[in-house]
Structure 1
Amino acid sequence: MKSDTSAKASRSVKRTVWNVARIIAVVVVLSFVAREFLFTNYIVYGKSMMPTIHDGERIIVNKFNYEINQPNRFDLIIFHANEESDYIKRVVGLPGDELYYEDDILYVNDEPISEDYLDYHREQYDGEPFTEDFTLEEVTSETVVPDGHVFVLGDNRQNSVDSRDIGFVPLEEIVGRVNMAFWPPKSVRFF
């Protein structure tokens, strides 16, 4: 009788261990798939996106289908700037756009575009231009944003390495769209 109870207990333990192992395997696979293809997180380094996103904040990036979807104007994106670094910037120019800055106003295809997210910085500059005048041709030698590329700027225009310096960002170098900041907890917000 004792050996029968012992065998049942042994089978029960083995079944429990097997079930736990399967659950752990499923969680690991789902985590890998989610991180590789759907979402990932980043820590922001630098001040180029302040005050929208601060140095040291942690953000969630939506990678789902982003490589086949055209980014929207004013999306916050993460992209591979070079082999060592990924940058976070704001899309201001889409393929086919002509753009320029004049008197601190963004013009896209000769239409003035409101950038309310820059109001904080503009107030700090007390009437001085926050974004220096430039034309697309002056900073890239192109008159329009080429197909398959976007033009990006940091929100902290005086302290940002962006398309004015590195040129257009190829769509295939975009990792994804920033969806939210989640750390520190007091600063949780969606974009």
Structure 2
Amino acid sequence: MEGQIVSEESQSLDDLPTTSPVPAKAVSPKPHKSFWREVLETVILTILIFFLAQSLIQPFRIQGSSMEPNFHTDQLLMVNKAAYFHFDVNPWLRLIPGVKAEGSSVWWVFGGPKRGDVVVFEYPRDPSQDYIKRVIGFPGEKVEVRSGVVYVNDQPLTEPYIKEASLSPYGPMVVPEGTLFVLGDNRNGSSDSRAWGFLPIDRIIGKAMIAYWPLGKGWGIVNEASYN
């Protein structure tokens, strides 16, 4: 036998309990932030955004002709400082019981430098100076300059971006661990790895991404070099 459900609406109004009316309360609106507090918050937010941007990108002005004909004196570049973010994972691995992690093992979070990348870095002999060069050789590779041609592991590089072939021979030399071999595009007017040695990766500031001033020839995204 089915049960019956009685809704409350079926009750008589006389059966409902009587209640006294409750007076409405006036609620005052929350006070607005003061003008100076809003100004202070805006200033603090602006400062935080500025420092965050500075940790990711930074403008640089080129001084010198070592990267001609592609980059010129007083040209302004935007450099991506996060492009080559890296750290040694071995110290962390050594914290795991039973794990033997000898030496160093660098992990590039967003991928490491590629051959042909244009990088800005601290000059190894004077970190107060920033240099700009092109990445040519990686750890373990044999680098040589012979008859104006750059060879990596005995294979010639086709470099359409250089101003003119190098007049001075170099090497052969094997790039040590933790370093890069870098050259200027103006091979006969550049102080680079041929003169002061290999570039420690920890000296790299970032990757040249955009040439934004002056407008005109050479303005825009820095093209990545391709090798046949």
TM-score, structure 2 as length reference: 0.68
Q: 1:77 to 1:27 in 2, by over 3 A?
A: same
The one-letter amino acid paired with 2:36 is: V
What is the deviation of 1:16?
A: 3.2
The residue that corresponds to 1:4 in the other structure is none
Q: How does 1:42-53 map to 2 (within 5 A)?
A: 42-53=60-71
The residue that corresponds to 1:62 in the other structure is 80
CA RMSD of aligned residues (A): 1.8
The residue that corresponds to 2:210 in the other structure is 180
What is the deviation of 1:65?
A: 4.7
Alignment match of 1:17 (pick from 12, 18, 36):
36
Q: How does 1:153-164 map to 2 (within 5 A)?
A: 153-164=183-194
**Secondary structure of residue in 1 paired with 2:135:** strand
The residue that corresponds to 1:3 in the other structure is none
CA contact under 8 A between 2:60 and 2:78: conserved in structure 1? yes
Task: Verify: 1:190 aligned to 2:221, yes or no.
Answer: yes
The residue that corresponds to 1:99 in the other structure is 143
Task: Verify: 1:169 aligned to 2:204, yes or no.
Answer: no
CA contact under 8 A between 2:148 and 2:169: conserved in structure 1? no
The residue that corresponds to 2:93 in the other structure is none
Task: Flag the structure with more relative contact order, 1 or 2, with Cα contacts below 8 A and sequence separation at least 6.
Answer: 1
What is the deviation of 1:55?
A: 0.4
Partners of 2:127 and 2:170 lie apart in 1 by 28
What is the deviation of 1:186?
A: 2.9
Task: Verify: 1:34 aligned to 2:61, yes or no.
Answer: no
Structure 1 stretches of 4+ moved >3 Å: none
Partners of 1:43 and 1:161 lie apart in 2 by 18
**Secondary structure of residue in 2 paired with 1:42:** strand
Structure 1 residue runs without a partner (length 5+): 1-7, 123-129, 138-142
What is the deviation of 1:133?
A: 4.6
Partners of 1:105 and 1:165 lie apart in 2 by 17
Alignment match of 1:77 (pick from 119, 129, 135):
119
CA contact under 8 A between 2:147 and 2:169: conserved in structure 1? no
What is the deviation of 1:91?
A: 0.8
CA contact under 8 A between 2:83 and 2:207: conserved in structure 1? no
What is the deviation of 1:136?
A: 2.8
Structure with more helix by fraction: 1
What is the deviation of 1:21?
A: 2.2
Partners of 1:189 and 1:95 lie apart in 2 by 31
CA contact under 8 A between 1:76 and 1:90: conserved in structure 2? yes
Structure 2 residue runs without a partner (length 5+): 1-28, 87-107, 223-228
Partners of 1:45 and 1:72 lie apart in 2 by 24
Alignment match of 2:169 (pick from 124, 131, 134):
134
Count of equivalent residues: 166
Larger radius of gyration: 2
